[in-house]
Structure 1
Amino acid sequence: MEEIAKNIQKKLRISSDAIGENQKNLFLYVSCFFIGMDKNYVIKILEGCGLSAIIDISVLIQCCLVVVSEKNKLTMHNLLRDMGVRKYTPNTLKNVVRVWRQEDVLDVNISGTKKIKALALNLQRSLKKSFRTKPFTKMKLKFLQLNYVELIGDYDHLSKHL
């Protein structure tokens, strides 16, 4: 079984190795934050972050790394998402640029880091939490997605790049 998984990973890597740095960057944004979201909405957000989303999403679609559903939603196979996130994401939170896993966000929010450009925290209504805005001062956020999160403090602490 492990041999089959390795062969699948090897074949998936062929497409991901063929794309440029801009597409790898955009691939990570999609796989971390935008799976299941409307393609046009995602393009608007990513263009606002300074990325050439229209062109790069087209390249990802041509390489079969991203699929657009009949309802114009961005999707990808879980194996592709997992492979890309593992391959292109640093191993330590010190060097990470995108934070989307709940446990990582909670760790990072306490200390803050200058390298973070994108952060998402999606809690359920029952888990609603409050966070101080001060740790955001160090971050150079271009993208911030919060669901059922309350921010306490001065909004001047949030990135001017948002």
Structure 2
Amino acid sequence: MTRHRHAPDRDGLFVAARGAPAAWLYLSTVQSWLRDIQAALAEDDWPTCVEATAAALTSMLHCRLVLDGLSHPPHPGELDLHAALSDHPDAVLLRRLPVGHRASRTDAEAAAASARAAAARLEHDLPLPVPALRSPDGELLGVEALSEVRRFRADLDALRARYHLPPLPG
């Protein structure tokens, strides 16, 4: 199980090899899914909200696998297998989601709340703070925020280079 970002066994190599790719994955996937969840809720689109929650939880599981040592892009079905067999709380949440096309408002709101809570836990466990791409309202942030994301990416790649690791993909 992933440990808190300030755990004493997390050194620079851990942050470079596992933390940096997990943080970038969080920024590039999870944040987008969280925004889609909010947009679906705002549009009263319960099925899309539940489906976006499933995608967000799957992306969070991917981040956790990277933190736990996964160093290659997952093979087709690998994340689904992990979600089906893992006892991690996020996998359990994913398995308990209702079928999207049958989702009610209550289902969608509960799914959205579970995704927000899981994202907060993951952010806490990441060894690096991740800049936000969007405002709390879901609006894409301006040029300043995009510059911050570019600097974040450059810092991640520089950290990885110090440990003779390749730049992050994408």
Q: Which has the higher helix share?
A: 2
Give the TM-score band, short-chain normalised. Answer: 0.3 to 0.5
Q: Which has the higher strand share?
A: 1
TM-score (norm: length of structure 2): 0.31
Structure number with higher relative contact order (C-alpha < 8 Å, ≥ 6 residues apart): 2
